[in-house]
Structure 1
Amino acid sequence: MIVQLRICIPGDLSGVVVENCAGQVGVAEVTLDKGASVMPPGDVVQVLLARESVEGLVEKLHALDVQKRGSIAVITPDLVLSDRADRAEAEAPGEGADAVIWDEVLRQSGEDSRLTWSYLTFLVLATQLAAIGIVTDSTIAIVGAMAVGPEFGPLAALAVALVQRQRRLGRDAALALGVGFPVAMLAAALGAWLSVPLGLFPPDVLDRGSAVEFIYHPGPYSLIVAVLAGTAGMLSVISRRSAALIGVFISVTTVPAAGFVAVALVLGEYQKAAGSALQLFLNLVGIVVAAVGVLLFYRLVTKRLPSDAARRLRRKAARIQG
């Protein structure tokens, strides 16, 4: 996979940036446009390189404080026809599908972790669907609720925050989960409370549904499935395979468990509510632990820029600015 970097920098940094871009393994093309940037004034460097080489080059650019004095844009072209690009991909170590661009992961996790009206609405709708599926003994509605639920975004962001020590990202993710689930469960409980006197379902409905027993009967496989789903979900985020996330959504029992807790509390089924609450807890913890494990593994196998090389680049950037 070929990626394009567009680097906007002050003119005094052009030389060292072009030097590092041209010396990076897996780079196919480097273009320098003098004075092309109007705001801020400076030069524009465009680099065509293999995806597996992006993280190494971005680390060097960070050491030069390019992101502070200018900007770095990462673009993925739909099609690149170039023998030179093909050779660059062959020379770059590893595979593009396995390459991690940590800034990309942080940015995506940050966008998915915020407590927004759209996130809250999707979670409320998903929990309501789950509650309806529970009282109607409809596995179709429950699976639909799993697919609609947006909770994996904050869970993935929480894992990224723990690994990358991003406190603000961790706070945003915890807030989205800590506010989102109680609000969604309260809305589901309100719907169930209004439905009983209207005769939409009988008070003993939880004793009749056989298709939903798995929700309030957590076991070892509850945690195992959550771990597998968390692993698959984080791999899909890293490799940008969003289609795999649908399978993750419909394999974990987070939203159905939240809906069951709400319905069971309204109907006075406290033991079943406790069982489904435990199911929810196991799923949330399993997903985060698995996602953290995936990220730690990738940090271990990814070649990082040596600290002495980073220090040399910072000193060079300081001399240029001075």
Structure 2
Amino acid sequence: MLHLRLIAPAEKTDDVVRLIENTVGATHLVVMPGAARNPAGDVVMCDVAREAGDELIGALRELDLDKSGSIAVENIDLSLSERADKAEDDAPGEGVDAVIWEHLTDATHEESTLSITYLAFLTLATMIAACGVVLDNAILIVGAMAVGPEFGPLAAFSTAIVQRHPRLALRSMNALLVGFAVAMLVTVGFSYFMDAVSLFSAEQLDALRPNTNFIYRPDWFSFVVAVLAGCAGTLSLTSAKSGALVGVAISVTTVPAAANAAVAFSYNEYKQAWGSTEQLLLNLLGIVLAGTLTLLFQKWLWRKRP
């Protein structure tokens, strides 16, 4: 269930209440006339089944309530109410399959912000991965993939394509390009420093590295895994099962590929650097493609529900 807290101008309150009353899956309607002060208006609250939430939020936006008042949405973790149970039963579809597009757009917009924190996480993840590739340490590689925040902009880019938000698409692309460029440049400097203190060496990079040599040897399996991970990651976002994102993060080699390319470049190993760059681009393409197709399929499937 979702809880909606609305602020409506007095002249729109009747329309808002009527809309909620006519929404199958909405219940627990509360109206408090004149309770809001900034902006001034009436406070309207209700609970709605997740599967009916996107339609109701869209209708409220058509009333321009997001401009003249306010629309706040919260997830309800526990609701002990027969009316709530009936509302969920009456609403068509299953809540776990529903996509709250406004929430998805807002969440991915935040995740795709090119912030200091985002750059710090991506850079630190790339440097950790650099240690992993030189030492041929799979544990460090997995740790770096878990730390990397790059799935946020990738999911945002897929959402922007499906929802036709060019600004979100540009914002996401900017976060990816600038983020990886900064992370790789810093990692090149980090590699020079580690070489100067005799912690990195060209011999370590050129060794067989059985645990990590796949990073600069992309193949079809790399693309297949990226596609599968993109599907799983997108589903975890749309169904609010964020725990699956950790599994997605350690399934693709975006950050390790960027790290290997940076370290290889610092040692003039351009063939290995190019192979790592191909791995990076292949993973990015697979995730975006899978995420976009998953969202399109979810959108089509939800429209076909009874």
TM bracket (short chain): over 0.9
Aligned position for 2:233? 233
Amino acid of the structure 1 residue aligned with 2:235: L
Per-residue deviation, residues 255-309 of structure 1 (Å, max 9, x unmatched):
00000001111112111111111000000010001110111112212339xxxxx
Per-residue deviation, residues 59-118 of structure 1 (Å, max 9, x unmatched):
211221111111111112232111111111111111111111111001000100010000
Q: Is 2:162 the partner of 1:144?
A: no
Aligned position for 2:270? 270
Tell me, in whole angstroms, the C-alpha distance in 2 between the residues paired with 1:190 and 1:274: 18
Amino acid of the structure 2 residue aligned with 1:272: Q
Per-residue deviation, residues 133-156 of structure 1 (Å, max 9, x unmatched):
111111111110000000000111
Tell me, in whole angstroms, the C-alpha distance in 2 between the residues paired with 1:280 and 1:303: 35
The Cα shift of 1:201 comes to 2.9
Q: Under a length normalisation based on structure 1, what TM-score does the superposition of the two structures give? A: 0.92
Tell me, in whole angstroms, the C-alpha distance in 2 between the residues paired with 1:162 and 1:199: 47
Per-residue deviation, residues 167-214 of structure 1 (Å, max 9, x unmatched):
211111111111110111111111112222322133221222221111
Tell me, in whole angstroms, the C-alpha distance in 1 between the residues paired with 2:219 and 2:26: 50
Aligned position for 2:90? 91
Aligned position for 1:251? 251
Q: After superposition, where does 1:145-164 map in structure 2 within 5 Å?
A: 145-164=144-163
Tell me, in whole angstroms, the C-alpha distance in 1 between the residues paired with 2:35 and 2:203: 72
Per-residue deviation, residues 212-263 of structure 1 (Å, max 9, x unmatched):
1110110001000000011111111111111100000000000000000011
Aligned position for 1:36? 35
The Cα shift of 1:19 comes to 0.8
Tell me, in whole angstroms, the C-alpha distance in 2 between the residues paired with 1:259 and 1:130: 6
Q: Is 2:23 the partner of 1:24?
A: yes
Per-residue deviation, residues 6-32 of structure 1 (Å, max 9, x unmatched):
111011111111111001111122111
* Percent of aligned positions that are identical: 49
**Secondary structure class of the residue paired with 1:35:** strand
Aligned position for 1:318? none
Tell me, in whole angstroms, the C-alpha distance in 1 between the residues paired with 2:131 and 2:39: 55
Tell me, in whole angstroms, the C-alpha distance in 2 between the residues paired with 1:173 and 1:77: 30
Q: What residue ranges of structure 1 are gaps of 5+ in the alignment?
A: 305-322
Q: After superposition, where does 1:59-70 map in structure 2 within 5 Å?
A: 59-70=58-69
**Secondary structure class of the residue paired with 2:71:** strand
Aligned position for 1:128? 127
Aligned position for 2:173? 174
Tell me, in whole angstroms, the C-alpha distance in 1 between the residues paired with 2:221 and 2:259: 20
Tell me, in whole angstroms, the C-alpha distance in 1 between the residues paired with 2:36 and 2:107: 27
**Secondary structure class of the residue paired with 1:221:** helix
Q: Under a length normalisation based on structure 2, what TM-score does the superposition of the two structures give? A: 0.96
Amino acid of the structure 2 residue aligned with 1:199: S
Aligned position for 2:223? 223
The count of corresponding residues between Structure 1 and Structure 2 is: 303
Tell me, in whole angstroms, the C-alpha distance in 2 between the residues paired with 1:258 and 1:204: 20
Aligned position for 1:184? 183
Tell me, in whole angstroms, the C-alpha distance in 2 between the residues paired with 1:195 and 1:117: 24
**Secondary structure class of the residue paired with 1:28:** strand
Which 10-residue stretch deviates more, 77-86 or 107-116? 77-86
Q: After superposition, where does 1:183-222 map in structure 2 within 5 Å?
A: 183-208=182-207, 209-222=209-222
**Secondary structure class of the residue paired with 1:204:** helix
Tell me, in whole angstroms, the C-alpha distance in 2 between the residues paired with 1:55 and 1:285: 29
Aligned position for 1:313? none
| Cα RMSD (Å) | 1.2
**Secondary structure class of the residue paired with 1:80:** coil
Amino acid of the structure 2 residue aligned with 1:202: S
Amino acid of the structure 1 residue aligned with 2:225: V
The Cα shift of 1:34 comes to 1.0
Which 10-residue stretch deviates more, 161-170 or 257-266? 161-170
Aligned position for 1:308? none
Amino acid of the structure 1 residue aligned with 2:259: G
Aligned position for 1:288? 288
Amino acid of the structure 2 residue aligned with 1:97: V
